[in-house]
Structure 1
Amino acid sequence: MTEREKEILAIIRENPTISQEELAFELGISRSGVAAHIHNLMKKGYIKGKGYIINNPQFISVIGGINIDIVGSPSDELLINNSNPGKINYYLGGAGRNIALALTKLNINTNLISVYGADVNGDRFISDSRKIGFNVDCCERISGYNTSSFIYLEDPTTNFRVGIDDMRILETMTPEFINRYLQRINRSRYCVIDDNLPLETIEHLKKQVSIPMIAKSVSMNKVHKLIPLLEKLELLVLSVDELESLIKALGDNEQDFFEKMRNLVNRGVQNLVIVKKNGNVYFESIEMSYQIDKKVAPEFNINGSTAVLTSTMIWAMLNGHYKMKEIVELGYCGAVTSYLTNDSVFDDLSEELVFHHYEKYFAK
């Protein structure tokens, strides 16, 4: 939806009987211009019938982090206690932002509910979002805080990696913050969260959200916050380390990888996906177990791949025509697109590209 179409839709919501002449006068444009915008809004499904009846197409609410990833890569083996020549790159990310962006690229109406700082990185997030047409109407600028950031050093020659995150701004996403968007959330098809949220906010969402929920973890240090939600999750996406940490936080001692997956399903998680570092995907539900072992070699940073996998599975679930095995495979094909770029979400991610990879890896 264009900015002008959003403006017209907002006016119509306030005054559904407004005429095209009145709209033209209020907006300072021609009546024919208004008619063209109305026609486009009807084609896109936002308006139906006469009298400007507002149609509410299904949409997704994503609640989670916006982040700036700062990656330092030395040219040679990393030397401790010494300056290391190399490259420093900045990437827009955050699990919530990545999931919402990937859904948008897959033509799913999406509301990202998040916060960003009154700083240069916050400005960069807004500028980038406007450039690509990404909906940030539910993202709030918070004074006195820096935009969430994660800085890390990586050394591919030794597999050494260490990082520090500054995500204090996400503590402002309190239950009171959520309440401002609760009505919108409960009109969504799914509520998707990451575990950057404060524990009290996750507990509040469990009580107040009446629609199916989906969660993706971002860290083995935060995954324990998802425990209150397990019985409510239609889909949970974890790494192997996050699975280990979650089982430990639950006080269980299963030794077998598959027993740990089964444990979470028995606790109420309807569909569980575990992604290994090599890209292999494991799926578990009450009805089935499934494994994808294609070993597609990543060419770049794969930080956003599990977020895109999550989004692509949601896209396939919304379709309503796919079996769960196919949904997992399509999710994998979405994740593979992240191997094509250093950005968290591939610029050219699309339904067509997902199907292209599906034909390549899974078509019989």
Structure 2
Amino acid sequence: MSGPFDILCVGSVLWDVIGRSPSVMRQGSDVPGRITRLPGGVALNIAMTLARFDLKPALLSVVGRDAEGEELVAACARMGLVTDHLYRSEDLPTDRYMAVEGANGLIAAVADAFSLEAAGARILRPLTEGPLGSVTTPYAGIIALDGNLTEGLLEEIAHHPAFASADLRIAPASPGKAERLLPFLRAARGTLYVNLEEASLLCQTRFDSAPEAAARLIERGAARVLVTNGGETCCDATPDGLIADSPPPVLVTRVTGAGDTFMAAHIAAERGGADRQTALGRALQTAAIYVSGEIGP
């Protein structure tokens, strides 16, 4: 799909292969369940949720010209996502993510984002060399950015003049990649969306609550941060103050993609004019419905 769009989603666009079982699992478990393959990746998960709020996102990422890539681009287009600006590689395969979830949550996951890392700055050319923006005419809209990009490329984005006017919304992709967000913390750029574990890794300190973690991230230079903590209190903090709310209690049936859903719902609410407290509440409600299995794939 082509044409005008509302928000840019930059980062991983891939296939999610998820094995889910209703059983409690541990290392070495071999249990019955269901295995699905769905469009995924942080940037794509955010884009798909934004589309459910009647927004039209555009994707910046790399997708191979292999059979899996052709199928993925077609799936994105059917969902109303703008795919014109994807970097389509002849020699890099389409990335994949594989996870196993049990009744006790995520058991293990492997993110194969090799192609995204190998493509590097080539995925950003539409923003740095046109047609979406450049150094002299920087893009001025919302950019949802994920930490699957390399640390070096994220450092470049934090200071690149082509991104100077953008409203950056940034997620680390996983706790293992949380420290890739440090350039935005140091530069006081953008809004960071992290969970309690990721906040702890960014600060090299263990926190017991989201408000505590958010306050510390602001002290360390963050311009704005939203910290989630599963079913516990979550918060939105800026140097001017902190607001908090708690998600409604639900039966959790899945966890992969919950943080991306929260972030997208929050962006959509604020873009629609909601104040900070309202936007936080709507995002928590949407994420709770998602993990309960009532919406989404």
Quote the residue 2:291 is aligned against: 339
Alignment root-mean-square deviation, CA: 2.8
Q: For 1:222 and 1:110, how far apart are their aligned partners in 2?
A: 24
* Offset of residue 202 of structure 1: 0.9
SS in 2 for 1:311: helix
1:201 aligns with 2:150: no
- Higher-Rg member (1/2): 1
Report 1:201-350 matches (<5 A).
201-208=153-160, 209-211=163-165, 212-230=167-185, 231-248=187-204, 253=205, 257=209, 258-278=211-231, 280-320=233-273, 322-339=274-291, 341=293, 346=296
- Aligned CA distance change for structure 1 residues 214 and 232 (closer, same or farther; 3 Å): farther
Report the CA distance shift for 1:74/1:315 in structure 2 as closer, same or farther (over 3 A).
Answer: closer
Contact 1:174 1:200 survives alignment (8 Å): no
User: Secondary structure of 2:82's match?
Assistant: coil
Query: Residue 148 of structure 1: CA displacement?
Result: 1.7
Matched, 1:130 2:77: yes
Greater helix proportion: 1
- Please give the alpha-carbon distance, in whole angstroms, between the structure 1 residues aligned to 2:22 and 2:208: 39
* Matched letter for residue 197 of structure 1: L
CA deviations on 1:215-244 (whole Å, 9 max, x unpaired) are 012111111111111234342111111111
In structure 2, stretches of 5+ residues that fail to align are none
Q: Give the CA deviation at 1:339.
A: 3.2
Superimposed CA distance per residue, residues 128-171 of structure 1 (whole angstroms, 9 cap, x where no aligned partner) = 12222221111122233332212122332x55702222110111
Alpha-carbon displacement from aligned partner over 1:30-85 (angstroms, at most 9, x marks no partner) = xxxxxxxxxxxxxxxx7xxxxxxxxxxx8322211112221223565658657544
Checking the alignment, whether the CA contact within 8 Å between 1:213 and 1:232 is kept in structure 2 is no
The number of aligned residues is 286
Is 1:93 matched with 2:43?
A: no
CA distance in 2, matches of 1:330, 1:192: 18
Distance (Å, rounded) in 2 between the aligned partners of 1:83 and 1:255: 34
Cα deviations by residue, 1:154-205 (Å, 9 ceiling, x for unpaired)? 332x557022221101113423442343241533412221100011211221
Which deviations, in whole Å up to 9, do the C-alpha atoms of 1:261-317 show, x marking residues without a partner?
Answer: 212112332331112233642222223323222443145323222222222222232
Question: In 2, are the aligned partners of 1:171 and 1:197 still within 8 Å (CA)?
Answer: yes
Distance 1:129 1:113, change over 3 A: same
In the alignment, the residues of structure 2 paired with residue 59 and residue 275 of structure 1 have an alpha-carbon distance, to the nearest angstrom, of 26
CA distance in 2, matches of 1:174, 1:160: 29
Identity %: 17
The 3 A distance-change label for structure 1 pair 178 and 332 is same
Relative CO higher for 1 or 2, CA cutoff 8 Å, sep ≥ 6? 2
User: Are the aligned partners of 2:178 and 2:201 in contact in 1 as well (CA < 8 Å)?
Assistant: yes
Return the alpha-carbon distance in structure 2 between the equivalents of residues 74 and 299 of structure 1.
12
Q: Does 1:178 align with 2:130?
A: no
Question: Counterpart of 1:221 in 2: which secondary structure?
Answer: helix
Match of 1:62? 9
Work out the CA distance in 1 between the residues paired with 2:189 and 2:81: 26
Distance 2:18 2:192 in 1: 27
Relative to structure 1, the CA distance from residue 310 to residue 82 in structure 2 (aligned partners, 3 Å threshold; closer, same or farther) is closer
> What is the CA–CA distance in structure 1 between the aligned matches of 2:16 and 2:109, rounded to whole Å?
10
Q: Tell me the secondary structure at the aligned position of residue 62 of structure 1.
A: strand
CA distance in structure 1 between the partners assigned to 2:123 and 2:247 by the alignment? 42
- Aligned 1:151-170 pairs, distance under 5 A: 151-156=98-103, 159=105, 161-170=107-116
Distance 1:63 1:160 in 2: 25
2:94 aligns to what? 147
Q: TM-score, normalised by structure 1?
A: 0.69
Distance in 2 (alpha carbons) for counterparts of 1:90 and 1:159: 19
What is the CA–CA distance in structure 1 between the aligned matches of 2:77 and 2:122, rounded to whole Å?
27
TM-score, length-scaled by structure 2: 0.83
